[in-house]
Amino acid sequence: MKSFFRDQLAPFFYGAIFLLGGSFLTSCDKKGSQSAENVLPTIEESISENSATVAASAVENRTIAQTTVADMAPQPSAAPPVSSTAASGLRFLAYNVENWLIMEDRYDFDTRKSSKNAPKPEKERASVISIVASEKPDVFGVCEIGAKTDLLEIQASLKAAGLDLPHMHFTGGQDTTRHLGILSRYPIITTAEPAEKVYKLNGKDYQIQRGILDATIKTPDGRSWRFLGVHLKSKRDVEDGDQEQMRINEAQLLRKHIDSIIAADPKARLLCYGDFNDTRGTSTIRIVTGPNNSPRNMMPIGVKDSRGLYWTHFWAKEDVYSRFDYIFVSQDLKNDVSFQDCKILDPENWNDASDHRAVLGVFR
């Protein structure tokens, strides 16, 4: 089924980026977006209009499918050429790897069969490892993993494929199934949590579902890089509340954390990345971006694939292509971006790996 959409239908839709998107039978399942009647009244007052170019329970003692490292992580293709400026800086890859976890009911598009309590299929895992290893990132930010053992599995498989990222951080939020992780070639010197994790909606308290990953990494040149990873509320409707308002509130919590970091250190070298489950021009993205011409502004890195297209997520059920995945940088970091090297990865096997495409940021 996946190959059918990719090979037969994708060419007719590659030229369009829609405002709604999702994934089938995943945490990003998009059933459609309600119009929110009660979106927080101060949202548009709190940010300036801008033209931004732009986020089965996790049981750590469960048994992981016994796939050998050799089977799991084929040798990657030759690394892409890296510019001389990028070679002395940092390569960062942000990627939603689509349900690298044990699912209570998992549907396999190739076999057209459902399995109970099944891991991410071996073919999909191998494709993820091949794609990541071939780009040789120094830091790898991961969305949509299950237990910490899943992050360890990715780490081990990448090492077997020739990419050693020995330092790691794993975290999450209220969602006990899907978590965030980061792997690094260089030491993670500090981690932190946001001061505010709870918002109120319709008189009820909610915690940000997947949390905010906050890790500071130090490179050999002595520079520190602070990474904030998120996976915001999907467009999937839920009984608890309006999905758009929930995502907007999560974006506000992220914005408060960003503001607190910049207030404490105006020169912070800050990257904010992940699956934001929203498109350019929405309140979610404008909140994260912040006001233009301000020290608070987080600039989205403009990236495209080898065909000049900007989408990062494909919703097979509705044939919808959307830009959900971003890397934002603080004002003090934007001059270090090697824009010509940044891109959306579109290898031939991208759809074998995930319903998302990875975003590469390269820094001098």
CA atoms within 13 A on the CB side of 195: 7
In this structure, what are the phi and psi dihedrals at residue 315, rounded to the nearest 5 degrees? -100, 100
End-to-end Cα separation, the chain, in angstroms: 41
pLDDT at 80 over 50: no
pLDDT of 88 reads 67
Distance in angstroms (rounded) separating the CA atoms of residues 287 and 252: 7
Beta bridge partners of 300: 328
Q: Report the percentage of the chain scoring pLDDT > 70.
A: 76
pLDDT at 94 over 90: yes
pLDDT bucket at 110, cuts 50 / 70 / 90: confident
pLDDT of 34 reads 35
Question: What confidence tens digit (pLDDT) does each residue in 40-79 have?
Answer: 333 333 333 333 333 333 333 333 333 333 333 333 434 4
Burial class (CB in 10 A: 0-12, 13-18, 19+), 326: buried
Token duo for residue 212: 């905010």
Q: Taking the model in full, what pTM does it have?
A: 0.77
Question: What confidence tens digit (pLDDT) does each residue in 286-342 have?
Answer: 999 999 999 999 999 999 999 999 999 998 888 999 999 999 999 999 999 999 999
3-state SS assignment for residue 336: helix
Extended strands (E) in 162-285: 167-171, 179-184, 188-192, 198-201, 204-207, 213-218, 224-231, 270-275
Distance in angstroms (rounded) separating the CA atoms of residues 284 and 255: 10
pLDDT at 136 over 50: yes
In this structure, what are the phi and psi dihedrals at residue 241, rounded to the nearest 5 degrees? 180, 175
Distance in angstroms (rounded) separating the CA atoms of residues 326 and 217: 20
Q: Which residues contact 25 (CB under 8 A, 6 or more apart)?
A: 106, 107
250-273 b/e with 16+ CB inside 10 Å = b?
Answer: bbbbbbebbeebbeeeeebbbbbb
Domains and CATH numbers, the chain: 2-363 (3.60.10.10)
Question: What confidence tens digit (pLDDT) does each residue in 17-47 have?
Answer: 333 333 333 345 433 333 333 333 333 333 3
Q: Which residues contact 40 (CB under 8 A, 6 or more apart)?
A: 245, 248, 249, 252
pLDDT bucket at 113, cuts 50 / 70 / 90: confident
Give residue for tokens 């981690």. Answer: 191
H/E segment holding residue 95: strand 90-100
Distance in angstroms (rounded) separating the CA atoms of residues 187 and 185: 7
Give residue for tokens 């750590």. Answer: 60
3-state SS assignment for residue 251: helix
